[in-house]
Structure 1
Amino acid sequence: MTGLWTAVAAILIFCILIFVHELGHFLAAKGLGVRVHEFAIGMGPKIFGKRKGETLYSVRLFPIGGFCALEGEDKSSEDDKALSNKPAWVKLIITVAGAFMNVLLGLLLLFLLYGSMKTVVVPEIATVAPASMAEAAGMLPGDTVIRFNGKRINTVRDIYWEKDQWTKGNAEIVVKRGGEKLSLTLSPNEQVEQNILGITLQKKDNSFWLTVKNGFCDTAFYGKVILSSFVDLIQGKIAFSSMSGPVGIVSEIGTAVEETAQNGWEGFMNLLQLTILLTINLGVFNLLPIPALDGGRIFFILVEMIRRKPLPPEKEGMVHLIGFALLILLSIVIAYMDVLKLFVK
């Protein structure tokens, strides 16, 4: 039964994320006077379709994608409402709109997540363990951590992230104590593991301000982590085998569904957090300058702005087609590795 609910949850999440993304392109295109031939959820054969005005709204058999078919998107057109005949700034807005909607969805879900909490953990120290790095550095209960190795701390996630990025040497922490800012130095030694700071953080009653702050800060944090992970992957700091595709994501959704069945709302919050990470990841990843992704199209639009004339849509379309084929190949490889992970642990 859990397998059935996992499938339902996975399909629902994927469909919502894709719908929101394509809705961004659709609304921007309609608002800026570009002809939309079809707005589709899913891929493959059409199982439902209804035409309203110039646009066909359809649902297709396989819930693995979706599209917003625009006039003049990949080829020249004499239609005044064709995307290819619009100014570069119009193309840019329409292209960015999909990713923007995914990030916006993540932000709204974070508001929902934090708004449901009675208390939240804040970057204020509650206790300091004896003989710990924190005690040796002079940290005290009541200190608010505002910087870690020069990086601003907005939420507890920032503390955990910067702590994990700290791999050697001393670390500088700036705390606020009684209205005064103090710079303290964390010095690991042989008796204390570097990853153990020796502090616990304070819980505070939730408020509208904390909900809004944590929502915006976590959205920015997730975006930073996604970009940082991509850079680390390119530099070889992260193994290619650690990447997850649809199979791995469905496995994670299955775990969250099981936790929801066992723990109720607390488990559902984990499923909600996974959805938040997925939608922000979809938005940010789509902005990477890779052919076939929105970021690849943005690159060509920026080239058009610099050259003051567009590249031939057919040539650009060919680049995106090749990029799409490579992405499909990459997806197959990642899916294969995901399947291996399920059977080889």
Structure 2
Amino acid sequence: MNTVIAFIFMFGLLVFIHELGHLIFAKRAGMLAREFAIGFGPKIFAYRKDETLYTVRLLPIGGYVRVAGEDPEIVDLKPGYHIGLEFNDVGKVNKIIVNNKSKYPNAKVVEVERIDLDHDLTVDCYDLDTEEKYHYEVDRKALFVMDEKETMIAPYDRQFTSKSVGKKGMQVFAGPMMNFLLAIAIFIGLGFIQGVPVEEAVLGGIQEDSPADQAGLMEGDEVVSINGDPVEDWMDFVLTVQDMPDEDIQISVDREGEIVENQLTVGSVTERGETIGRIGVMASFEKSPGDVIKYGFTQTYDVTVLIINAVGQLVTGQLSLDALAGPVGIYSATDDIVQTGIMNFFTWTAMLSINLGIVNLLPLPALDGGRLLFIGLEAIRGKPLDPQKEGVVHFIGFALLFLLMIIVTWNDIERLFM
């Protein structure tokens, strides 16, 4: 049960932060954000605040922010349509009832001659009883009512397509950006809680009865050399010891300004079929604010490089699709990591957040990177591509990504039963 709760929390946090980035920058750009959704499929929770409907949906496979103008608008009213109109206190249309008009007795039923809800915000129509012609202004926050469901109209200046290339690009990029910022924040938080490892080869905790303990090494000792070879930093020290399992070595350490020589026999452990050296020491940690903040950025950078290299290996065929993990594989890995403690769980969360940001920036249709590619082409051409053609490309891309997810999930399930 702990794993289920941890997985739901982790998934919800990653998707929420990603979509929150899209939402914030949509609103900053003056776009109408119709819906902020976590998950897909049927709604299990809905709450409306101001212009935006906030929902949690049944299928936990992502989320979205539905911005006016990214898809075809809600209703295309043509001349000859019969609609109902309701008015506000200043005589402007504030409700346009498309069907079930009998349920709105205060609405004036008219026949449309011309309607412009993008630029002019006007309705030219005929009274069905008198055939008299009327011209009405439409309120900028008027509502469509279809099947008794209300949806705000979107004047052109509130639509995604009306904004500059810079604003559109920033709104799309904001989702992955927030995932990187979340990772930085998590690593900084972990740094303040448990400290960050110092770069120097300074010994932290000494395991009882370990080779280091038996040789008299002490917490705070800084390793100067091994067998006379200088040690540059902690990683150099770790790699050197790992390469010397079961060997007798001489370690020189700086202890409060005095060089102390220590003789010991390196222990050994087997990891993934390989025997490596261990002497039973841990890194030294510190919690200075400057180092902790730096650690947040450097850890995020290091993980980013690691994931990008893995993606490159997938593209070049050095890694197969079997190396990918879907929701089932991530859940299984989360189960293992939860058992090792909350610090490792949050480290895992930060790594997945970076992974989500990178994957979304890949220049593939239906992903943020694909949308950024189209926005870049718009900047080069000086005009947007045909929205219908772009929509077809994204639809095909989404279908292929969904197929890939099915394949990866099937591989995950097979691995669970191997």
Q: TM-score range by the shorter chain?
A: 0.7 to 0.9
Q: What corresponds to 1:124 in structure 2?
A: 200
| Residue in structure 1 matching 2:323, options 242, 257, 276 | 242
| Residue in structure 2 matching 1:286, options 351, 360, 365 | 360
Distance 1:196 1:60 in 2: 48
Q: What corresponds to 2:5 in structure 1?
A: 8
Distance 1:204 1:69 in 2: 45
Within 5 A, what are the aligned runs for 1:7-46? 7-46=4-43
- Letter of the 2:18 partner, please give it: H
Distance 1:63 1:334 in 2: 16
Instruction: Give the deviation of 1:201 after TM superposition.
Output: 8.1
TM-score norm. by structure 1 comes to 0.75
1:139-183 residue CA offsets vs partner (Å, 9 max, x unmatched): 424x348xxxxxxxxxx59x98xx9xxxxxxxxxxxxxxxxxxxx
1:55-105 residue CA offsets vs partner (Å, 9 max, x unmatched): 212222223221100111134894221101111111100000001111111
Greater share of helix: 1
* Greater C-alpha Rg: 2
Contact kept? 1:21, 1:98, Cα under 8 Å: yes
Contact kept? 2:40, 2:63, Cα under 8 Å: yes
Contact kept? 2:198, 2:286, Cα under 8 Å: no
Contact kept? 2:29, 2:163, Cα under 8 Å: no
Matched, 1:98 2:175: yes
Within 5 A, what are the aligned runs for 1:162-201? none
Find the residue that maps to 2:318 and give its secondary structure.
coil
Q: Residues 43 and 317 (structure 1 numbering): CA distance in 2 closer, same or farther, change over 3 Å?
A: same
Distance 1:139 1:288 in 2: 44
Within 5 A, what are the aligned runs for 1:1-345? 4-75=1-72, 78=118, 79-118=156-195, 120-126=196-202, 139-141=229-231, 143-144=232-233, 203-259=284-340, 267-344=341-418
Greater share of strand: 2
Task: Give runs of ≥4 in structure 1 deviating > 3 Å.
Answer: 74-78, 194-202
Q: Residues 252 and 140 (structure 1 numbering): CA distance in 2 closer, same or farther, change over 3 Å?
A: same
Identify unmatched segments of 5+ residues in structure 2: 74-116, 119-155, 204-211, 213-224, 243-273
Find the residue that maps to 1:48 and give its secondary structure.
strand
Find the residue that maps to 2:53 and give its secondary structure.
strand
Contact kept? 1:15, 1:64, Cα under 8 Å: no
Q: Residues 250 and 203 (structure 1 numbering): CA distance in 2 closer, same or farther, change over 3 Å?
A: same
Find the residue that maps to 1:124 and give its secondary structure.
coil
Q: Residues 298 and 197 (structure 1 numbering): CA distance in 2 closer, same or farther, change over 3 Å?
A: farther
Find the residue that maps to 2:37 and give its secondary structure.
strand
Identify unmatched segments of 5+ residues in structure 1: 146-155, 164-193, 260-266
Instruction: Give the deviation of 1:126 after TM superposition.
Output: 5.0
Q: Residues 216 and 302 (structure 1 numbering): CA distance in 2 closer, same or farther, change over 3 Å?
A: same
Q: Residues 198 and 49 (structure 1 numbering): CA distance in 2 closer, same or farther, change over 3 Å?
A: closer
Instruction: Give the deviation of 1:207 after TM superposition.
Output: 1.6
Instruction: Give the deviation of 1:257 after TM superposition.
Output: 2.3
- Letter of the 1:13 partner, please give it: M
TM-score norm. by structure 2 comes to 0.63
Instruction: Give the deviation of 1:203 after TM superposition.
Output: 1.9
Find the residue that maps to 1:80 and give its secondary structure.
helix
Instruction: Give the deviation of 1:237 after TM superposition.
Output: 1.4
